Chains A and B, each alone.
Chain A
Amino acid sequence: MEDISKITQFVINLFGLNLVFNVETIIMTWIVMAALIVFAFLASRNIGFLPNPFQVVGEFFVSAFYGLTKDALDEDMAKTYFPLICSLFMFLLLSNWLGILPKLSEPTKDLNTTLGLGIMGFFIAHHAGIKTKGLKKYAKEYCEPMFFMAPLNIIGELAKVVSISFRLYGNILGGAIIILVVSHLIYSLALPPFLMCFFSLFIGTIQAFVFTMLTLVYISVQVK
């Protein structure tokens, strides 16, 4: 049970700064990235009227998420933000599914991954807001309904980052811990595959979609 809180770390001391790398998370993230690049290569290599299986899957992702992005933003902005939304979903989906393979673990089980993606979404949404509305109108929205509410509005915006990243992290970590504890207690007999189906495949898919949709609606709230 000790491995619940165990993290392999690799510390570099650079000019007095301690740079800490979570080795496992980085390797798993690279595996996901490599798999996505290979998938993109296979899907776009021979684009034809009779698609190969990879092209079918790729077209499914592109058409589904282009429709969702177009519903939330308008046509012009959808062209800008659609690649981000689609690749974010594919990255998170593969990350959440990675734990079903032996010896591999989900990079989203590490708070640093989800917090990084959450902060990225935060900056993209606010950049989009400033770009479409102008700095003055953007700043004025923080003083609604009264100017002294500004600190609380700012805390509310920062709380969005906390909630979006802890939601994904808590769900994936929770699934992993429950699978670990239950497998340990019943000596890995019979039950773990079903738990993996539920927590990794089902909850993982839903949470990847939720994270992506929340990033999208945060952008949409900022620009409208």
Chain B
Amino acid sequence: MTLDVPVMIKLASYAGAGLCIGLGAIGAALGEGFTAGMANQGLSQKPEQSGDILKNMLVGQAIAESAGIFALVIAILLLFLGAPVTTMLKASALFSAGLCMGLGAIGSGIGSGYPGGHCCLGLARQPAISSRLTTNMLIGSAVCQTPAIFSMVVALMLMFMDFSQMPLWPTWAAFLGAGLSTGLAAIGSGAGGGLAAGASCEGISRNPDTVGQVTTTMLVGQAVSQTPSIFGLLVSFILMFKTFPESTALAASMALLGAGISMGFGGIGPGIGNGMTAEGAVRWISRNIEATGALTRTMLVGQAVSQSTAIYAMVVSLVLIFVV
């Protein structure tokens, strides 16, 4: 058996497809399980609301599933599209696309399970405001999908863009780094955004009059929790679109791969941490509506501090790309 270019491309797309849907299934399943568990709790508190709760559970699970469906789409594309046989570089791009989408779907899947679950529990507490709760849940879990959408963008760009002019060394490492950067950084942001959305559903069910402020703060909090995944996207774009000088030295390739790994892992913690901050702010705004301004500002300052580690990671990856 010889490992020529067509064989390598096939190998990479099959391995990428497997990793994509395998990793992508983790998050969606966890999120849906959380939603269903909370729905059971709600049902036991208010059995007469079973129809409404069941409907909401299914809607919430359907949204949590969408990250998994993104991964499925990419996996099917990798399996059946039959990428044109160009250069060895395509193999690296296809494998990275699968890896990126698979990792990126984990966080959004877990995250969008939280609002669904808390919405079901909230329905048991306040059956009268089901439409307001459902709207808030839909907005919250749709925003949770943003990191998965970023991963899908990077995956589709890696699959469909024409990279044939670029040198194989060190661009293959840049592509792998691009996939890892967005994919890993999306884990934390997706899960963190979900924490804020869950707290907002809980808060609205406790105090339905606060829906305006709670939804607004939730959106701002989620947006800031997504910042690490945006840094990941930025590093990925630089790695994909910058033309690197050809060099067969291992150090040049490893610097680019390291840039992606640095930003990817560096983004996980700040994403979840920012989500926790937003969760706290949203939860307490619903209990103390007068303090909305102070709580929002404190949330932003706290998030800026916990975000600084993501900024360190970004600085290190930019140094690895441009200086080393």
Contacts and interface: CB of A to CB of B under 8 A. Distances in A.
Interface string B138-158: 010011001001101100110
Contacts of A155: 311, 315
A143 interface: no
Contacts of B156: 4, 177-178, 181
Interface stretch (B37-45, B125-133, B226-234, B248-256): B226-234
Interface residues of B, number: 39
Contacts of A159: 227, 231, 307, 311, 314
User: Taking chain B's interface residues, is the majority helix, strand, or loop, or is none over half, making it mixed?
Assistant: helix
Contacts of B149: 170-171, 174-175, 178
B230 A163 contact: yes
A210 B219 contact: yes
A1 interface: yes
Contact of A71 (B139, B160, B293): B293
> Which of B223, B300, B307, B308 is the most central at the interface, judged by chain A CB atoms within 10 Å of its CB?
B223
Interface string B202-241: 0000000000010010011001101100110110000000
Contacts of B73: 182
Interface of A: 1-2, 4-5, 68, 71-72, 152, 155-156, 159, 162-163, 166-167, 170-171, 173-175, 177-178, 181-182, 185, 198, 202-203, 206, 209-210, 213-214, 217, 220-221, 224
7 contacts: A4-B161, A5-B161, A159-B227, A162-B230, A171-B149, A202-B142, A213-B216
Interface of B: 73, 77, 139, 142-143, 146, 149-150, 152-153, 156-157, 160-162, 213, 216, 219-220, 223-224, 226-227, 230-231, 233-234, 292-293, 296-297, 300-301, 304, 307-308, 311, 314-315
